[in-house]
Amino acid sequence: MSLTDTHALAEPASCYAPCVAARAATGRETFSLRLPLRHSGARTVRIACEWQGPVDGPVLLVAGGISAHRHVAASPAYPEAGWWDAQVGAGKALDTERFRVVAIDWLGSDGSLDVAIDSADQADAFAAVLDHLGIDRADAFIGCSYGAMVGLQFAARHGARLGRLIAISGADRPHPYSSAWRALQRNIVALGRNESASREALSLARQLAMLSYRTPEEFAERFDAPVALIDGVARCASADYLESCGQKYVARTAPTAFLRLSESIDLHAVDAATITVPSVVVAIDEDRLVPLHTLEALAGKLGARCRLERVSSPFGHDAFLTEPARIAAILTGALCGGAA
């Protein structure tokens, strides 16, 4: 195993030739199956998936945080914005003229699965999607945040079906400080339910979460204004931003979904030594949810070749969304060169 801290970012390279002969395909499906859940026993679950890219292209499994979903990027068939348009699409790092990108809606994301959900269950759902689509093996699993945790589980549980792993801002277990932060968020939502204020509570929980995703440095730069007294109430400069984040989240997320997926992060645990696929681990120096030292430790424990990439960003944990150029360079290098 070799462990390398990489600061210089290479220019994107064209290491995969476009699949000219293959028909570009985009589709969505939802199917049901019986899935043995790690903590909750066998359950009938519905799995929603989406794919785009040439049917004969190398398959990339892509997953984001607990707010992410199967619609990774806009396409001619589904033109609405995706959650990772910066990286997925024609000519981008995850080039859908070369790669076949496959993603899912997280189990429990619609709020209908009110049981304990593990990252291992999500990994098994990805494997079920490969079976459903008739795909034997994925060239890479690219996971960010919770998706990186699921990617680690997929590599541990289904390693024979995976060529390489790219794990961005996700470790083999949650940090105790981060778990405490999420526990407070869940307590807020539970209290809101008891007081018939579920939407308001979920909004507050999301606002608190935003503080963990970002950094004090970013807030100091963006919201460095005196606290104002408005109608007799003190209001800080970031209040409008945080309230907007909360309102947007409430509009698309059921409280049960938030509670169960937040729990799923804290239930996550994987033995990194059992992972035998080449890996690239990406750490954000300023990430307060997944501190650098936890990913340095992960890279040292993985049971196969691994490269550690570091990015410095005032956006902290959210850098995979807000640092498109630097993340694109890492993705391109990882897909072309693998782990070294």
Residue 85, Cβ neighbours under 10 Å: how many?
14
Mean pLDDT for 327-334 is 97
Lowest mean pLDDT among 78-92, 174-188, 326-340: 326-340
Taking CA atoms, 115 is separated from 4, 172, 256, in Å, by 40, 22, 9
d(CA 340, CA 331): 14
Active-site choice (118, 287, 313, 318):
287
Query: Across the strands, what pairs with 53?
Result: 25
- Is the model's pLDDT at 19 over the cut of 50? no
Domains in the chain, please, with CATH? 5-173+269-337 (3.40.50.1820), 179-265 (1.10.1740.110)
| Known active-site residue 145 | yes
Residue type, 213: Y
CB 87 within 8 A of CB 324: yes
CB 273 within 8 A of CB 159: no
Active-site choice (69, 71, 158, 317):
317
Active-site choice (75, 109, 119, 145):
145
Mean pLDDT, the chain, rounded, equals 93
Confidence of residue 10 (pLDDT cuts 50, 70, 90): very low
Whole-model pTM: value is: 0.92
| Known active-site residue 175 | no
Return the DSSP state at 138: B
d(CA 46, CA 35): 10
What is the predicted pLDDT for the residue at 16? 52
- Is the model's pLDDT at 322 over the cut of 50? yes
Query: Across the strands, what pairs with 162?
Result: 138
Which of 172, 211, 181 is closest to 294 using CA atoms? Answer: 172
Mean pLDDT for 150-167 is 99
d(CA 306, CA 35): 31
| Known active-site residue 287 | yes
